Structure formats: structure tokens, C-alpha cells
Structure 1
């Protein structure tokens, strides 16, 4: 068994955390921003230093490859992203990139024999923080392999015209042209050139820590749905209209949300999660009774039958009158549970066992580029423990030891895939 370097990992974490440093312990590093370009140049510099060949595709995904003993063998790729959410942490996404770099550095440094070329990869715009949607470029690259209902959201032309959330005028396509990282479509990830896919990531939740485990052997990304619940009432003056006659859409939405929590909790599924994260209120004036209120509803679980039960409760809101207001329930999008390749999952589990690293099987509740890649290639993921389960915030933290363990597990799992195939 081989182990990665604690010292090299520490140096990478310290270095990459400077690119987009927000001054509060975290980063803001939007895709294709000057800060992201600094991270990409650092990736290029370090990978070229070990003799890797750099390729960049037409949507700025970067590939650094070292050769294997068989020049005709397909590549094994390890990937994640270097962009962040606003005021995010130093580990989400970039840990997967640093882990892939560390695998290549370890293979070169220790002269580890391997048959297949090994590739460390950066996906562009996974977060979608500046240019929606999330997982934009994995959606573009894997487009032909995605289910129809997902595919329709990642048309190349539409993605190039995605507008910045900051100014609503500049587009992703314009940022791509200006970045200096628009390459050639021929370099895209494909099943013709690549054998399988690995992605290391922080857990972004508390399950590993709560169970006293360092590494998560991920078996799937949970299925989910996202709906909008829209409530229609009547705007009146806040000071002159009697309470019994009001049709307050905000109050109606509050009643419905409490109903959803009560009824869904009665189902009794401990692993089920659901969230209301985005709201719209009109006219959103303190002297006006709201005539319109709209909230998102996101629910996630492995079993589609469980999600069907939740969805039935959500849809039932449209059959009721809430504080005198009507309700409309509209689908935004959904996805089925994506299961990782069982042989690759087994290699990850074997690698953790043989290295003597505490581990457990775990689901991913969050979406990742790997789930789109899995429609194209055999794929799997490795999770590293997150302190207090925090992510997408500046206190996000994973210990140096855990980060290095994650890279070591991936290294040995990759070597198993190299030797045994998929």
C-alpha cells in the first residue's frame, strides 16, 4: 500500500486558500474569475513540474496527465472543481483537485508502476455561483449521456448565454472567451479515451464525524425533487384593512409550510431531508399585505417510493385554501438516485481497510460533477470528514490528516482499478 505526503498536502491547502481569500478564513472564488485563474495557473505549474501533459477543452475543463506503461490504455481520471460559493470554505471542490494532484505527485515521486495514464482534472463552474446552473460544464460534456429530463437543462448554447447574477448582462460565454482557458472540444472527457472516474470530496455533513469515521465510502448520490409552491392573495393597505377580510399570501405560505413539516415528519423516515431555501414575496413593502408568496421545496432520499410519498403531500397543498389564498404547485426539476459503480466502490472500501483508516458506507446528499460523469463512465466518490458537518461557509474545515488519508485511499483505489480493470 502507498501513502500520500502530509507535507505536500499541507502546502497545497495553504497555497490554494490564498486564491480568493475573503479575509475571514474562507474564499470567494467564482468560476473563471481572476481568483479561479490564479488557482488554475497554480495547478498547471505544479502538474507540469512533475512532467504531466496539460490539455484544456472548449469549456475550460483542465486535464493533467502522466503516462502509463501501456500507451494504448485508456486514462483513469480523478476530478473535482476549483470554484466556490460566495464566502465559501477552503476544501469544497478544491480538495478533490488537490487530492488528484497529490496522487499524480506520489506516483511520480515514488515511481509507482501503473499501466494506464493517470489524469488530474478541474471541472469548470461546478457551483454555478456566478453563472447558473450548478454542474454546468459536466452537464455540457456529459450531455449526450444524461437522461432526457436532465439533458434539456444543459444545452451548450443556453449555457454560453447564462447571465451573471451580479450584473445580469455579462455571460458565461463572454467570461470563457476572456479567461484564456478556452481550449479544444477534442480534449473533452469521453468513454473513448477514459476508463473510469474518481472524485474525492469533503462530506459536507456530520455523519462521518458523528460515527467516529475518517473516510466515507460513497455508494450513491440521493434522488431529489425541487418544487415551487405559489400562493395568491390580495394586496391591501397594512393599516386600514381588517384582519378577518385579508388574503395574506405570506401568512398562507407560513401555514402551508407548517403543514408540510407536520405531515412529512409523520412519515417517519430518519434519512429523509427537505428544505425551503428560496422565497419570493410581492410587493415586499412593509405597508402592504402581500398578494403573492412563492417558496422552493427541496426533498432528498435514496428510495423513489419515499420521495413519491413526500411529493403527494406537497401536491396536496394545491387542493386547499390557505388563509383565503389559493396555491399552485409547480415542478422545477428532479433527479433519480445515481449509484456508483460497485467494483470501484469496492476498490475504495478495500483501500481504506488495507490502509487501516476508519471508514463507513455513506450516501451523498449533495450533487457533484461525478453524478453526471457516472452516466458516461464507471464512477465513484470518496468522502473526507467535515468538522461539525459545515460546508459552503467560511468555517468549513477538514483536518490535514483526513485530507491526506482521502488522497491515499484514492491513490490505492486507482491502482486497483489500474491493475484489475472495472
Structure 2
């Protein structure tokens, strides 16, 4: 078994954490920003130093490739994203890039024989923090292969028009044109040129730490849906209109939210997760009774049957008189459970066992670029333990030893795929 370098991995973690340093142990690194460009250039510099060939496609994905012994063989690719959420951590996304770099550096240093070209790539705009939606560019790359329930969200022309959440004017297309990373469409990841894909990522949850395991053998990305519930009442003066005559949309929404929690919890599925993380209130004036309020509900579970049971509860909200207000339910987004390629999962499992790394099988509750690639070619993921399960925040942490173990498992799994 081949081993990756703890010293090199530690150096990469330290170096990349400087690009977008937010001052409290984490980063803000929006896609194609000045900070992201610094990270990309560091990636290119280090990969060129080991003789990797650099390519960029038309949506700013960056590819670094070490040729294999067979010039006709398809590439084996690994990678993730370099962008972050606002005040995010030093591991989400970029760990997958650093792990891929470490794999190529180890292959080059130890002169490890391999038939297939080995590629590590940076996906553009996975987070969608500045230009929504999330996983934008992997959605563009895999558009022709995506299920109908998903693909409409990722039309190339529409994505170019996505506006910055900061200035509400600059588009993703503007940022792409202004960058030095708009390359050739012929360089895109595709099943014609690539054999399979691996992605390393931090777990972003507490399952591995609670179990005392360093590495997760990921078997799937959970299916999910996101619906919005809108409540319509009547705006009136907060000080003059009698309580018994009011149609308070915010009060109605709060009743419905409590109802959803009570009814969903009655289903009794301990591995079912759901969240209301966004709410809008109109007119949002303290002297006015709200006339329109909406909130989202995000639900995730492996089983389509379980998700349908939850959805029935969500839709039932339209049938109830919430404080005299009308309720409308609208689907925003949904996806089926995406299962990873069984052969690649077995390679990861074998590599973890042979490397002596503690591990267990886990699901991914979060979405990743790899889940779209899975519709296009065999794909799988490897998780690295997250301390306290924290992610998308500055305390996010995985130890250098765990990160190196993840890269070691990745290296040996990719070599198993190479020998296939």
C-alpha cells in the first residue's frame, strides 16, 4: 500500500487557509473572486511543479493531469471545489482538491506506475454563495445526463445570468468573462474522456466522530425535497385593528410550522432530517400585521416512500384554516437518492482496510458535485471526520492526520480503478 505525506498535506492546509482568511480561523472565498484566483493559481503552480498538464474549460473548471503509460486510456479523475460559503471553514470543498493534489504528488514522487492518466480538478461555483444555485457548474457539465426533475435548473444560458447576491447586478457570466479561467469547452469533464470519478470531502456531520472512525465509505447521497409554504392574510394597522378580526399571516405560518414538526415526528424515523432555514415576511414593518409570509421546508431521507409520507403532511397544510389565512404549497427542488457505483465503493472499502484506517459506511445528507457526475460516469465519495460535526462555519476542522488518511485511501482506491 502506498502512503501519502502528512507533511505535505499539513503544508497545503496551512497555505490554502490563507486565501480568503476571514480572521477567525476560517475563510470567505467566493467563486472566481480575488481570493479564489489565489487558490487556483496556487493549485496550478504546485501541479505544474510535478509535471502535470493544466487545462481549463469554458466554465472555469481547472484540470491537472499526470499522463499514464497508455495514451489511449481514459482519465481517472478526483477533485472538488475551491469556493466557500461566507465565513466558512478551511476544509469544505478544498480538502477534495488538496487530497487530489496529494495523490498526484505521491504518484510523481514515488514514481508509482499507472496506466490511466490521473487528473485532479477544481469545480467552479459548487457553493453558489455568490451566484446561485449551488452545484451550478457540475449541473452545467452533466446537464444532458440529469433527470428531468433536476436538469431544468441548470440551463447554461440561465446560469450565465445568475446575479450576485451582493450587488444584485454582476452576473456569473460577467465574472466568467472577467476571469482568466474561461477556457475551451473541449476540455470539459465527459464520459468520452474520463473513466470514473472519486471525490473526497469532509463529512460535515458527527456520525464518524461519534463512532470513533476517521474515514467514511459513502454509499449514497440522500434523496430530498424542498417546498415553500406561502400564507396569505390581510395587512392592517397593528394598533387599531381588533385581534379577533385579524388574518395574521405570520401567526398562521408559525402554527403550520409547529404542526409540521409534530406530525413529521410522529412518523418515527430517527434517520429522517428536515429543516426550515429561510422565512420571508411582508411587509416586514413593526406597525403592520403581515399579509404574506412564506417559509421553506427541506426534507432528506434515503427512502422515496418515507419522503412521500412527509410530503403528504406538507401538502395537507393547504386544507387547514390557519388563523383565517390561505396556504399555498409549491415545490422548489427535489432529487432522488443517488447511489454510488458499487465497484468504486468496494475499492474505497478495500483501500481503507488495507491502509489500516478506521472507517464505516455512511450516507451523505449534503449535496456534492459528484452526485451530478454520477449520472454521467461511475462515481463515489470518501468522507473525512469533522470535529464536532461542524461545517459551513469557521470552527470547521479535520486533523492533518485524518486528511492524510483520506488522501491515502483515495490514492489506493484510484490505483485499484487504474488496474481494473
- TM-score of the two chains, using structure 1 as the length reference: 0.99
Aligned residue number for residue 259 of structure 2:
259
Secondary structure of the corresponding residue to residue 346 of structure 2: helix
Aligned residue number for residue 50 of structure 2:
50
The answer to whether structure 1 residue 313 and structure 2 residue 313 are counterparts is: yes
Deviation at 1:130, TM superposition (A): 0.3
CA distance in 2, matches of 1:160, 1:271: 37
Aligned residue number for residue 35 of structure 2:
35
CA distance in 2, matches of 1:211, 1:309: 30
CA distance in 2, matches of 1:159, 1:233: 34
CA distance in 2, matches of 1:274, 1:150: 20
Deviation at 1:254, TM superposition (A): 0.5
Aligned residue number for residue 271 of structure 2:
271
Deviation at 1:339, TM superposition (A): 0.3
- Superposed, 1:139-178 pairs within 5 Å as 139-178=139-178
Secondary structure of the corresponding residue to residue 327 of structure 2: strand
Secondary structure of the corresponding residue to residue 23 of structure 2: coil
CA distance in 2, matches of 1:326, 1:171: 36
CA distance in 2, matches of 1:357, 1:52: 29
Deviation at 1:136, TM superposition (A): 0.7
- Superposed, 1:5-404 pairs within 5 Å as 5-404=5-404
CA distance in 2, matches of 1:324, 1:318: 12
CA offsets 1:118-166 (integer angstroms, 9 cap, x no match)? 0000000000000011111101111111112211111111111111011
Query: Post-superposition, which runs of at least 4 consecutive aligned residues in structure 1 deviate over 4 A?
Result: none
CA distance in 2, matches of 1:126, 1:419: 31
CA distance in 1, matches of 2:186, 2:123: 16
CA distance in 1, matches of 2:244, 2:356: 67
CA distance in 2, matches of 1:327, 1:316: 10
Deviation at 1:394, TM superposition (A): 0.5
Across the two proteins, how many residue pairs are aligned to each other? 420
Deviation at 1:229, TM superposition (A): 0.2
Secondary structure of the corresponding residue to residue 9 of structure 1: helix
Aligned residue number for residue 414 of structure 1:
414
What's the RMSD between the two structures over aligned residues? Answer: 0.6
CA offsets 1:50-73 (integer angstroms, 9 cap, x no match)? 000000000000000001111111
CA offsets 1:306-328 (integer angstroms, 9 cap, x no match)? 00000000000001111111100
CA distance in 1, matches of 2:109, 2:321: 68
Secondary structure of the corresponding residue to residue 204 of structure 1: coil
CA distance in 2, matches of 1:219, 1:300: 15
CA offsets 1:231-290 (integer angstroms, 9 cap, x no match)? 011111111222111111111000000000000000000110000011110010111111
Secondary structure of the corresponding residue to residue 199 of structure 2: strand
Secondary structure of the corresponding residue to residue 112 of structure 2: coil
CA distance in 2, matches of 1:252, 1:174: 42
Secondary structure of the corresponding residue to residue 116 of structure 2: coil
Deviation at 1:77, TM superposition (A): 0.1
CA distance in 1, matches of 2:284, 2:212: 46
CA distance in 2, matches of 1:292, 1:195: 51
- TM-score of the two chains, using structure 2 as the length reference: 0.99
CA distance in 2, matches of 1:160, 1:326: 36
CA distance in 2, matches of 1:60, 1:223: 28
Deviation at 1:46, TM superposition (A): 0.1
CA distance in 2, matches of 1:112, 1:270: 45
CA distance in 2, matches of 1:187, 1:277: 38
The gaps in structure 2 that reach 5 residues or longer are none
Secondary structure of the corresponding residue to residue 64 of structure 1: strand
